[in-house]
Amino acid sequence: MDKELIINKTKEYAKTKLKGEGTGHDWFHILRVYKTSIYIGKKENVDMFVVELAALLHDIADWKFNEGNSDVGPKLSRQWLDSLGVNDDIIDKVTKIIATMSFKGGTTNAMQETMEGKVVQDADRLDAIGAMGIARAFAYGGYKERELYNPNIEPQKYKNFEQYKKSVSTTVNHFYEKLLLLKDLMNTESGKSMAIERHKFMENYLDQFFKEWDCTE
């Protein structure tokens, strides 16, 4: 099994599938998560082959773009890796990471059982916060035709995944429903350390947003 060849082919596969995607779940999101996963993974005792494959394939078919079906991504990933002759135990590890990656409104069990999963999950969550996270939140909000902010709509605490999928909340509310919660959900010391600055950036952004909203400048 030529691991380098498999990684390179998987990069091209992900790039082809996601290039030009406009909601913030594009190839460059994958590439950032991939690079961050390598950075964090090198500090942990992990199987880097599993980490790299999971990072490259984690958003290959996100549930948000497949009518809420969380099984599509792991299924496509399994088919792809099987076509490359990847060992079944590696495929099982990668697809399990992908299946439990998403936050989903905090309503499902997204705990990673392996260090490989924890590394990739931290990298993915880091790309959801800070300056990049803000940009991605508003890109996705535009795609979903959500209001930027509406003072008459309060942030929600979701009871289940179905409620989260049907949410009509605003993009600014999404900060309180998810983004500002991620810092305290990091798995690794590196992830926790990197999240601090990005979290603070979001808090400063929201302070400025509300000053401008209320015209108090």
Distance CA(171)–CA(162), nearest Å, equals 19
For residue 107, what pLDDT is reported? 47
Distance CA(37)–CA(34), nearest Å, equals 5
Q: Print pLDDT tens along the chain (217 aa).
A: 799 999 999 999 999 988 888 888 899 999 999 999 999 999 998 999 999 999 999 998 765 544 445 678 899 999 999 999 999 999 999 999 999 887 665 545 578 999 999 999 999 999 999 999 999 999 999 988 999 999 999 998 877 666 666 677 899 999 999 999 999 999 999 999 999 999 999 999 999 999 999 886 5
Assign a CATH topology to domain 3-213.
Hypothetical protein af1432 (1.10.3210)
Check if the beta carbon of residue 148 is closer than 8 Å to that of residue 172.
Answer: yes
Helix (H, G, I), strand (E, B) or coil at 19: coil
Query: What pTM was computed for the model?
Result: 0.90
Residue spans per domain, the chain = 3-213
For residue 149, what pLDDT is reported? 96
For residue 1, what pLDDT is reported? 74
Distance CA(108)–CA(54), nearest Å, equals 20
Phi, psi (deg, nearest 5) at residue 170: -90, 165
For residue 89, what pLDDT is reported? 97
Q: What is the 3-state secondary structure (H, E, C) of 70-136?
A: CCHHHHHHHHHHHHCCCCHHHHHHHHHHHHCCCCHHHCCCCCCCCHHHHHHHHHHHHCCCHHHHHHH
Phi, psi (deg, nearest 5) at residue 74: -60, -35
Q: Name the DSSP class of 44.
A: S
For residue 169, what pLDDT is reported? 85
Distance CA(173)–CA(155), nearest Å, equals 5
Q: Which of 82, 117, 115, 80 is nearest to 98 (CA)?
A: 117
Chain centroid, CA 133 distance in Å? 10
